[in-house]
Structure formats: C-alpha cells, structure tokens
Chains A and B, each alone.
Chain A
Amino acid sequence: MTQSFTPGEFQSYWPNALKMNRFIAYFLPTFIAGLLAIGTHSYGQDFNHFQTLRSSGRVPEKFRTSSLEKYNSDIQQISSKEKRRLKRLKKEFFYESAFDLNNLLHSGMLVFNDPVSIYVNKVMDTILKDDKPLRSKIEIYVLKSTSFNAFTRQNGVIYICVGLLARLHNESELALILCHELTHFTNQHSIQKVIENDDINAGRGVYRKTNEDAKLMAASMFSKKEESEADLVGLQRFLKTNYDPNKAIGEFDIMEYPQLTFNEVPYKKNYLETSNLVFPPSYFLKKISDVVADDDDSLSTHPAAKLRRAAVISKLQGLDVSGKKTFLVGENDFNSAQKICRYEMCDIYLHNNMFQNAFYTSYLLLQENPGSIYLKKCVAKSLYGLSKYKTNGKYSDIYNGYIDIQGYSQQVFYFFNEMKAPELNALAVEYLYNLKRQYPDDKEIVAITQDIMTEMVQYHKDKSFFSADPKPASLDSVLAKDSASKGNILNKSDKPRTLIVQKSKYESNSGSKKGDEQKEKKDDKNYFIRYAFVDLLTDPDFIKDYDKAVINYNETLSDNQYKETREYKKAEAKIERRLRRNGIALGLNKLVIVNPFYYKVDESKSNPVKLAASELAQKDLNNCIKTNANLAGLNYELIDMHDLSENSAEVFNDLSVLNYYSAERSELGDMHYVNYMTDDIQALTKKYQTNYFDWTGVVCYREHSNFRQGYLKTIFAIFSIFYFPLTPYALYNAFRTHYNTYIISNIYDLGTGQSEDVRVSRVKFKDRPDVLNSILYDLYLQYKKPKN
C-alpha cells in the first residue's frame, strides 16, 4: 500500500528520516521522488472516467480516537481557576462537540489525503509558514457538500466544502477564507458563542430585561460580530502572506450569490432533443427570474456579503500590493483541485437526490468536456432518478418547484416540472438506451436502462404507440401554437404547480382517469413523445429489449396479482409461522457486518441519547458480535469506523461507500431503484467475496413510567399490605424501570440491491449481555444454516 503524507506531516517525519542508516538514506531521494510522483498523479485525474474523492494514506489520528478520548483531551484546556458556570458550559460544549465531530468524521462525508485536501493543506502551509506551532494544531479535510461554506472546530479541525472550492476564482480567495477560519480557531469563537448564548438565554448582565425577539437578535448580532472579527483579524494574517488581497476580495461576490452554481450558462432547449423528439416550447420558460442578492442579514449568523466586502476593502486602501501574487502554491494545482471539486459536485447532488442540480452541473461540465462518460452517466442517472420519482408518485420527496430557483438552472427545474411521468420516462429511456449502445459493457448503464425500460411498459405496453416514422412537419407548428396559448413567462406571483400524485406502477393499468388520458394521447398523432424512439425502433436489439421488458413487466404484474390472493396470503402466513418456530436459513457463504451502532436512550432526560454510555457499549457490541459469529461458525468480517487503524484508509473508503448506500436504500423505501454506485458496490462485493452486508445495531430505550405501570405499582403495593409475601415483589415493581431493547439486523444483497432479511427483535429488558448474546448467536446460526 502506498502512503502519502500531507506536507505538514511529511516535515515532521523528515528529522527521523535523516537518522536512518545509509542504506535507507541512499534510497531516500528515490522514495521522495516516488511520493512526489504519487502527488502529481493524484492531480492527474482522468476526467472522462472521473473517480470520486477517496481518502488515502495514513488515517489521521482524529479519525481513530473515540469521542470520549477527544472529550478528555479537550477538557484539559479548562483552567481550574475558571468560574464554575464557565467550567460547566465548556464541559458541555466539549462533550457535545466531541461526539458531533466523530459522527461527522465517521459519516464518510469527509475525506483525507485526497488531492483536494492535499492542495488546501499546501495553501495553509503557505499561510502559516512562519507559525509552525499553530500549523501543527490545524487539520483540514474536505467535506462532500455542495454548499459554499467552510467550518472550524474549537480543536483546530477545518472542513472545506467541495462546493466552496468549486466556486472560487483563485487561490488568493481560498487563502483569505482559510485566514478567516484560522481566526475562528485562535479566538475560540465557537466557545465564546456558547458562553454568550447562555448569558442571552438566561438573561444575565446586559440581557437582563431582554424579551424573546431581542434575544434572537442579540444572538445573531454576537455571531455577526465574531464573523466581522474573523474577517478583519483574518485579513491581518492574510496581509502578512504574499497573496494578492485585491484578487482575494472576489470571494465576497460569490458569497453574495451563494444560490448560483460555479458557472452560469443558458440551458439550450435542444440539449436533449433529437431530430424527431422535440419538446413543446411550453416546457421552457421564455424568461427566467432575476437573480437577487441576499442582503437581508437581520437574523442571519453572518453579516451581509456586501458589508463584509466594504469592511475589507476599507482596510486595503493605500496598501502596497506590488509583488503580491494570486497563486503561490500554483495555478495548475488550483485549477486541478477545482476541477475535481466541480466533477465531485455532480456525484454529491446525485447522492442527495438533487437530480435537477446534478443534471445542470453535468450539463455545464459537458460543455467543456463533451466526451466524459462520467458526466454522461451523471446526466443519465439524473434522468433515471427524476423519472423513477415521478413514476412512483414520489416527486414531491425531491425538490419539485422552480420559483425559488435563481440562475439559468431554473430552466432545467421548470422543464422537469412540466414533463409528465410517461414523457420523462420515455426521455430517460431514449437517453439511456443510446448511452448503452455507446457503452455496452458498462454494467451500471445496462442495469439502469433495463430497469427504466421495464417501468416504461406500464405506460406503453404496446410498442406500436411509438412511431417508427419521422415526426411530421406539422408537429412543430402544433406545439408552437399550444405554447403560445400558455404564455410561460415567470412572474413573481407564480406558485409551484400542484403535483398530481402518480399511482403505483401496478395500479396504473386499472381503468382510471389517467388511463383515459393515456388513451386520448395515444390517439393523438401530434403527441411529441410518440417520436421519441424513431431511430431506436430500427435497432433489432432495442426491439428485443422492449419485448423482454414487456415479459418482465407481465411477470411482475402476475406475481403482484398472485400476492393479493387469499391463497398466497394463507401460504405466506404459514411460512411466517414456520420461520418463527424454526428460524430461517439463508446459507450465507460470508457476511460483512458494517458499522455496528449502539444507542442508549433515556426518555426521562433532556438529552435522551446517552452518548458516552452508547460509545462504550458500542465497543462491547463489537466483541459480542465477534464472539457469537465465531461460536456460530459464521464466516464474517466486521468493518467499523470506530475501529480504524493507521493503515485502514481503504476500509474507511469502503465504509464511506456503504454509508451512502445504506442512506440511499433507507430513503427509497419500497421503490425499486438501481444503485448509483453500482461500480463501487460491485468492487466491494468482489473485494469482500460476498454480496451480503449486514447493518446491525442495538437501541436500548428506557421508558417514562406510564399510567399502566403506575396503576400496577399501586395494586401491588395495596396487596402487599394485606399479604406480606408480596412485599418484595411490590418493592421491586415500585422501583423498577421499564426498558425496551431493540436488536436490529438488516442484510442487503448488494448484488440485487434487495434487502435479504430485516430483523428487529424487541425484548422488554435492559440491554443485558446474555440477551444480546442469545439473539445474535441465534441470528448468525440462521444466517449460516444452508437453505433447504
């Protein structure tokens, strides 16, 4: 495994390297050259086959230490001379912050030692080249988020969002932002904010007679004061560097319009059109709404960007900036890192079901790189996602408006909003099938195309609906006429259209209004979507795939109809009873247990989740899983973010992929959906030599006493007065607390994307080790038992 270091880390290794023996010293230059070569290669991304950001090298200590260790380290900062209230506040803050940080570090959204992090760390090295002690306290990671933001924690961890770097103009802007974040750290703004907010909420000192509205205002003012301080102190630090301040202030322009993406290019109406598939002009806005800067900062945590810009510019008056440079680390490095971030944004949008944004971002990048298969796949996945959500009546689960959108992407939002489910489906099939013809060996494209075609059959079971003849010349004029009658110019008074919730795909064939509409459209020779497959219908493979999709659909339909029968339900109940009695038999050759979780919840507390106890219990759970899986003879592998070693960056990447996967699956519910990360997932199944991955965990829940419990306590107390032997039980019942423990196991077959087995065992005890052992052992025995 190759190792790469951030520059700061490498410097700390240097003195040790000098002490090495001659043999190693001889090879040292070669080793360094190798490292540099690795670094150069990292920037040399193949953007046609873009690989999303992945961590590499040594896993930083922050990722490996537990929340409690972080907390214990943080509280060393608290002076014994401080007032009791401050001590309490700081302890609470450090406590929550430590757990919050670990949650984020283990979410898979942060990456380390990737090309972008390495670049940003280099910029920080440049800023702090004369302040090594401060540099050693700072760690920078890239956060997979599309927002224009950066965060600093009190312990020196800075996250830079992918969306921030993607939008910047140059390195000086990045340097100014980093200086701003450094001030947040050096001045411990996050702790100061907590203390001040406590004063505000408690009405202490100057806030004694403050009402609720004024308290909100005061909290906002304090936050803005800190931001302004960070701007100005950060600027002082920035001015000590050789970066050009005049080039840096462009960041405030971006801040003023954070709603816009990194580039504004009009969306071409004919982008998805072919010579035969033409969309009605009414599906496009004649004019998009004006872009408006967000200048109202009355309740915001940050001052308005224009005020911040003015404050910074006023400090730059009369400064000599000769010799200052826009790029110090390098323009190429900046451009490479930024390009990676822009490509990464498409993937992040897709993961967050922001399909319209993913589509428009891919569209922008395709203008520069039209041959990129990665970007084409992003377009295809966006169309697939939009079509699936619309067909399954879940379009309202994703962003379904367009009024609030600003910039040219509004056209995209409007277009997809106007498209009916069958139209969007046909469009997706058309795009995907053509992509499949270009890349027939791409398993991801093949799987998505197959799925979307099966869904198409519910709308058009008979392929004769689609015309094999070119569109008539009259169609354009008909569409234009139709459009003219609509007048689709966006007004401020426009409201998002109410969505017609689609029926499920198996209901849609029943006689309904929608069916009637379908019939009406079917007869309409001017229905534009009829000409979607003019080219494809000449392809025998497409005809074959269409017929196959019809067969698949019919099979699914008859399966679902059978499932509605009494006979099936009776048989199902019988199987259920037998499984309950005898257990199941999955016959798994190997199981990968992913990130076991543990939550101890006490309903009676203001903070119900007992974080420290949960973390300790989680470690015990890992041991419990290992013991029982071994005893059951199950071939397993446990991978856990809480159990990372210095060399387990690959495991970290695997877990990041799996985290995204499980989040996506849980969001989809019962909707059949081909996973976006098919390639990554297939790589994982190959690596771990199994398709079966288990998300498992325990939740122990302590209940509030309810009426029934109180009633029973009273009954037993009364009886014990008259009948003394009941006294011990009455006492026990009076003081006992009621617990529920849930042991959850959810096995996914990553090959099919289906859940293989979901178990939620609820026991009315505290999380006793014997109960956990007993249930887990039984589960693993069932997972191992060969199928009959």
Chain B
Amino acid sequence: MICFFLFPALLKGQVPGYQGKHFILSYNLDVLPNLAYIDLNSVSTLPVQILFSNHISTEYVLGRSFSLGLDASYSQSKIFLVDGNANESGDSYGLNLTFYPKKNNTIAPVGNYFKIRIFTGSTWASGNIRNNTFDNNGYPVTLIKPEQTNLTVNGFGIGFGNNMIVHNNIVLTASVNLDFNVMNFNNNKIPTGSNFEELTYDIQNHLFETYLFYFKLGIGGLMF
C-alpha cells in the first residue's frame, strides 16, 4: 500500500542512494535490557538482565529521504527467575519505513533516521517453574511444573538511529527502538487464573514486553 501511494512521487524524484547503491542487507544484534518484571507469588526475574536477539533486515532506498525495509528476527533467551528459569524463544517479521529528515541534509541511507515498523510475531516459552508457596498449615510447598505454550503478537514500533557507511560498502547501524504490542493472542491457552498458567503466560509475554525498549547494533552490506 505504502509503495503504491509513494510510487508516483518516486518516479519523479531522483534517488541517489549511496553512490548509486540502494539495497542494504544487514545483520543486527538487538540488545534488550530486561525491563519487564514478573512478579507473581514472589517469583520475579532478576533485576539486571540483558537479552539478545538476532535480526536480519533488508532496506531499499526509494527516495532521497526514505527507504522501505523488511526484517525478520529470532531470539532465544533464558530468563533467570528467583525460583527457576525459562527458555523464551520468539520470532517476528516486520515492515519498516525509514525517514532521513531533510532538515539534516543527509541523503538516504546515510545519517540520522527515524523508523516506523509494523510487525507480527510469535513466542514460545518452555521451562520448569518452581513455585514456593505455603500449605494450609503454613509449611512451604515447592511445586515444579513444566510448561510450554506460544503466543502471537502484532504491534508497531518506532526507532531513532544513525547509519554510517565505511569503505563505501559496509553499513554500521546504531539505534534506539520502542515496540508496542497492540494485539496479543494466546494460541494454546487462555489464562484461567491459576498461578502457573498466569506465570507461564507472563513469561511468554515477557519477551515482547522486553522489546518495548531496546538498542540495535547492526552491520550490513550495500549490495546494489
């Protein structure tokens, strides 16, 4: 749709790209500070954790100040809880529109940019959750239950960053990003209110909550 509406303008405009090259393929490492705390029945993530996610993205320069891109990410992280741990996995697929503001006088794909992204993704969580509770007599009871479930998420994100090109072919990127989940669908289970189920749901959702704020460090190549 975006391309459809932009196309007439693109035909008129001169698109220099970077020395005539318009297409970038890059690998990004997403660095996610663990900000989403899970706090349920005394079970919570450790306060300082950094998660990582792998990201492959493409970008095609369509105008003097904007480009269109597709990206796919995959992450697998182990979340350490006070009482247990969980493996979180997730993937996402996004469509990006990147703007290189005219007032900066740089030409896409060089310099500061502002990016908007819509994405869809899913996450899996599995792990052993050890839950320390107390029975009716006040004795501690440790419950361990393996859980596995997945969750589909749709959302949008924004990012601010800078592209630098070295040796005329290598693209280095650094950006700060914010993603917002707008529609979440638990495919297998809908939380029923039990502690375990809620906890599992939270862990699944955690990854996407973590994505609320993250840094992106990328390296890529100007292909053509």
Q: What residues make up the interface of A, taking CB atoms closer than 8 Å to B?
A: 580-583, 585, 627-628, 631-632, 724-725, 728-729, 761-765, 768-771, 773-775, 777-778, 781-782, 785
Contact = CB atoms under 8 A, between A and B. Distances in A.
A773 B19 contact: yes
B111 A765 contact: yes
Given A724-B48, A725-B35, A763-B105, A771 B64 contact: no
B110 interface: yes
Given A773-B19, A777-B19, A583 B164 contact: no
A773 B48 CA distance: 42
- Which of B107, B166, B215: most chain A CB closer than 10 A? B107
B166 A770 contact: yes
A781 B105 CA distance: 16
A580 B18 contact: no
Contact of B106 (A582, A769, A775): A775
A771 B106 contact: yes
Interface in B74-112: 102, 104-107, 110-111
Given A725-B35, A729-B176, 19 more contacts: A582-B12, A582-B13, A583-B16, A725-B33, A728-B215, A762-B105, A763-B104, A768-B164, A770-B165, A773-B19, A773-B165, A774-B16, A774-B18, A774-B106, A774-B107, A775-B105, A777-B16, A777-B20, A778-B107
B133 interface: no
Contact of A725 (B102, B164, B213): B213
24 contacts: A580-B102, A581-B13, A581-B64, A582-B12, A582-B14, A582-B64, A627-B19, A628-B19, A631-B19, A631-B20, A725-B213, A765-B111, A770-B110, A770-B165, A770-B168, A771-B106, A771-B111, A773-B168, A774-B19, A774-B110, A774-B165, A778-B14, A778-B64, A785-B14
B10 to A, nearest CB: 10
Nearest to A742: B105
A628 B19 CA distance: 7
Nearest to B47: A724
Contacts of B104: 763-764
A114 B33 CA distance: 73
Interface string B22-65: 00000000000101000000000000100000000000000110
Interface of B: 9, 12-14, 16, 18-20, 33, 35, 48, 63-64, 102, 104-107, 110-111, 164-166, 168, 176, 213, 215
Contacts of A762: 105
A583 B18 CA distance: 15
A777 B106 CA distance: 12
Contacts of B13: 581-583
Nearest to A762: B105
A781 B14 contact: yes
Contacts of A724: 33, 48
A729 B215 CA distance: 10
B107 A775 contact: yes
A71 to B, nearest CB: 31
Contacts of B12: 582
Nearest to A763: B105
A265 B34 CA distance: 92
B106 A583 contact: no
Nearest to A770: B165
Nearest to B34: A725
